[in-house]
Amino acid sequence: MARLAGARLGLAWMFALTTAGAAMAADQAPASLPPAPQPAPVAAARAADVESIDGIVAALYDVISGPAGKPRDWDRMRSLFAPEAHLMIAVPHPDGSFALRTLTVEDYIGRNSRAFATMGFFERELARTSDSFGQIAQVFSTYESRHATGDAKPFQRGINSLQLFNDGKRWWVVNLVWRAEDERLPLPERYLRSR
């Protein structure tokens, strides 16, 4: 019951902020709100990587791809993500249920630095669907992964779901959730062509 009351209070507070916010100047905040925490410094981004949705999606695929033993440019990876960003994987369990494994950018770098030292990994975008409204965008990016660029078939395909935010100067990846296809869930045709 306390949780329900908290949810109602949260929605009421959000409505009050939205209503009040419409009448306030952009640089003003209600007196009862604490100042927003300052984000940790982020590596400087390449302008071409973050000036468009196309640029940031292409940079994301490029930065994680390479042959075994080739160091990735992890500072470039860091520069694409908002400081509070999360990466989440839909992980299957033997009983058929799924869970989300949540990683920070640093978790992803730590896990994959070891794997990429001994394994080639090349991921590319096959197709994309996206929607945007003002400063926010959501992108369904269909991917395929290979261990070498010359491999006849990918070892994996799936969907990268990205939430993006533009602060007026550049795009940021706010969240990235992915799910690989499997025998029970092949990629639908609609996600194999861009629209």
The pLDDT assigned to 195 comes to 74
Question: Do β-strands 98-103 and 122-133 pair in parallel, antiparallel, or remain unpaired?
Answer: unpaired
pLDDT tens track for 94-111: 998 999 999 999 999 999
Tell me if residue 44 falls in helix, strand or coil: coil
Q: What is the mean pLDDT of residues 177-184?
A: 95
Nearest one of 146, 76, 154, 138 to 109, comparing CA atoms: 76
pLDDT of residue 35: 52
- Are residues 137 and 58 part of one domain? yes
Residue 42 lies in a domain: no
Give residue 185's Cα distance to chain centre.
22
In a domain, 38, yes or no: no
pLDDT digits (tens, 9 = 90+) for 22-78: 443 444 444 554 554 444 456 799 999 999 999 999 999 999 999 999 999 999 999
- DSSP character at residue 66: B
Per-position b or e across 22-34, b if 16+ CB within 10 A of its CB: eeeeeeeeeeeee
**Taking Cα atoms as reference points, which of 160, 194, 163, 162 lies closest to residue 178?**
160
- Provide the mean pLDDT of the chain: 85
Asked if residue 147 belongs to a domain, the reply is: yes
137 inside domain = yes
Is residue 65 situated within a structural domain? yes
Number of neighbouring beta carbons within 10 Å of residue 63: 18
Rounded Cα distance, 99 and 46, in Å: 34
Residue at 2: amino acid letter: A
For tokens 């470039």, what's the residue?
Answer: 76
